[in-house]
Amino acid sequence: MKKFNSKLDLALLLLPVILFLQPISAIDFVFNGFNSSSVSLYGSAIIESRILTLTNQTSFEIGRALYPTKIPTKAPKSSFVYPFSTSFIFAMAPYKNVLPGHGLVFLFVPFTGIQGSSSAQNLGFLNFTNGNSSDNHMLGIEFDVFANEEFSDMNDNHVGIDVNSLTSIEAADAGYWPDNSRSSSNGNTSDEDSNSFKEQDLNNGKNYQVWIEYEDSMINVTMAPAGMKRPARPLLNVSLNLSDVFEDEMYAGFTSSTGQLVQSHKILAWSFSNSNFSLSERLITTGLPSFVLPKDPFYRSKVFIAGATLMLQGQSLNALDERLKARGEQFDEGEVERMLHVGLLCAYPDSKVRPTMRQVVKVMEGNNELGEIESEDMDTCLLQQMKSKDFWSSYSQSSSHGLHPTFDEIRRYNSSSMSLSWSNTVVEGRFSVASLEEAAEVGRIKIQ
């Protein structure tokens, strides 16, 4: 009798099983930007500047985009679900002075189009009547920014796993676990670990990258700001058997909706594979456009307008705290005006051009004359130029920063006999009134 090599025999026996468990046709794609052939568009979805935009400022609309062909998701005539890995970069871009909503869903669906779905809180995923039906054959990973009681949403900024329903089987606050965070063996989270979690606002206009992987009846969902290394610890790690959910082939893509709340839901890049779990590394995650709303320039803030108006009108004493006025004491208007000058400059958005503490102290001490100040502290004198109504008149029209005069701008104004020609370009910046409030508080102490 002929003897066979035992290893060869085993390989020949396992080959049919291995072939059976592999997708009939492996699907691998990477989209760093989209065109008309990348995805099929439905509802309000469009492609603009290679960005997949699902919704716009129109209320109660649905936008959906699906990979043009079905993807093998389950072995034929079997309960075996093929593993898959997908990653994408999204942004929820709010509109100014408009309440943002509602969210987006990465989904598997057995059909094209948007039939059977509703807008608003339904996210274009399902509707009021067809939820919780096993006939839906739908899986969704929702990024939801509105808390709906009917779906038992945990809050208005969460990520959830949806199976045939918008009531998530598992959900978590949107965010990520830094790689230095720890996970206890029993699955519980320590207070120290809880403090390390980095919650992220989904609809702040920032770009976020998501990784979703499914294998051996386990689904992992991870997210982080785009450009950041993928966190080792997933946001969601859930045991989930999709054998009764998936058909043999499914469409994959994104869906989103608006209601009374509106925002633009955008997909900037997308990768998918049912054979290569490292394909997501080919996504371009840096140099992407930002959709964060610029904050109002400081010169338009109530604090700045009030301070500038009082100085222009010679009414600096009106800035005094009423509790100080009630004491009946007399206050030096020069001291009060000096504090307004210092407070406004200390509130400048860019910390690099704010006066130093040494400069602030010299001004508060009344060292106003050039001869009384060392040459290295020349900028201290420039603070006093803010007393000039001519300066305020010029500055109030416009500023090169569109925010607040810098020392360099004051110096140029002081040294030139010509009026400044500042452009009308508005460069938005960050501002916190905390620094001004602190300066004001220091001023009260000094005045007293």
Whole-number pLDDT of residue 436: 39
SS3 label, residue 436: helix
Whole-number pLDDT of residue 162: 97
Q: State both tokens at 248.
A: 């043999």
Residue with more model confidence, 198 or 398:
198
397 pLDDT higher than 80: no
Whole-number pLDDT of residue 265: 97
421 pLDDT tier (thresholds 50, 70, 90): very low
Rounded Cα distance between 421 and 182, Å, is 56
What's the pLDDT tens digit per position in 372-384? 444 344 444 444 4
Whole-number pLDDT of residue 413: 45
91 pLDDT tier (thresholds 50, 70, 90): very high
Mean pLDDT of the chain: 78
130-134, 280-284, 293-297: segment of lowest average pLDDT: 293-297
Measured in whole angstroms, how far is the alpha carbon of residue 216 from the centre of its chain? 32
Cβ-based neighbours of 447, under 8 Å, separated by 6 or more: 320, 324, 331, 332, 335, 336, 339
169 pLDDT tier (thresholds 50, 70, 90): very high
Q: Which residue in 292, 173, 260 sits closest to 223, CA to CA?
A: 173
β partners of residue 29 = 272
21-30, 220-229, 276-285: segment of lowest average pLDDT: 21-30
For the chain, give the number of residues: 448
Whole-number pLDDT of residue 410: 44
What's the pLDDT tens digit per position in 13-71? 544 444 444 555 689 999 999 999 999 999 999 999 999 999 999 999 999 999 999 99
Whole-number pLDDT of residue 428: 33
Task: Tell me the average pLDDT across 229-236.
Answer: 97
244 pLDDT higher than 60: yes
234 pLDDT tier (thresholds 50, 70, 90): very high
Whole-number pLDDT of residue 334: 72
Domains and CATH numbers, the chain: 23-182+192-282 (2.60.120.200), 298-447 (no CATH)
Q: Which residue in 293, 74, 83 sits closest to 201, CA to CA?
A: 293
Task: Tell me the average pLDDT across 177-200.
Answer: 69
35-39, 146-150, 175-179, 268-272: segment of lowest average pLDDT: 146-150
Of the CA atoms within 13 Å of residue 179, those in its CB half-sphere come to 5
178 pLDDT higher than 90: yes
204-208, 317-321, 391-395, 439-443: segment of lowest average pLDDT: 439-443
What's the pLDDT tens digit per position in 335-344? 777 777 777 7
pTM of the predicted protein model: 0.66
Residue with more model confidence, 134 or 322:
134
Rounded Cα distance between 416 and 405, Å, is 16
Helix (H) or strand (E) holding 338: helix 333-346
Alpha carbon dihedral 319, 325, 329, 334, in 10-degree steps, equals 0
Q: Is beta strand 40-43 parallel, antiparallel or unpaired with respect to 62-66?
A: antiparallel
Cβ-based neighbours of 80, under 8 Å, separated by 6 or more: 20, 21, 74, 243
Whole-number pLDDT of residue 70: 97
Q: How far are the Cα atoms of 395, 411, 412, 417, 433 from residue 399, in angstroms, in the given order? A: 6, 14, 13, 18, 20
Rounded Cα distance between 267 and 272, Å, is 14
Residue with more model confidence, 125 or 417:
125
Whole-number pLDDT of residue 333: 72
Whole-number pLDDT of residue 192: 54
SS3 label, residue 251: strand
299 pLDDT tier (thresholds 50, 70, 90): low
Q: State both tokens at 421.
A: 């020609």
Cβ-based neighbours of 398, under 8 Å, separated by 6 or more: 422, 423, 424
Task: Tell me the average pLDDT across 311-322.
Answer: 67
Sign of the alpha-carbon torsion through 423, 428, 430, 433: positive
164 pLDDT tier (thresholds 50, 70, 90): very high
Cβ-based neighbours of 144, under 8 Å, separated by 6 or more: 102, 103, 123, 153, 156, 157, 158, 159, 160, 202
Name the residue with tokens 């290679």: 50
218 pLDDT tier (thresholds 50, 70, 90): very high
DSSP secondary structure code for residue 74 in this structure: B
Rounded Cα distance between 112 and 67, Å, is 10
Percentage of the chain lying above the pLDDT 70 cut: 65
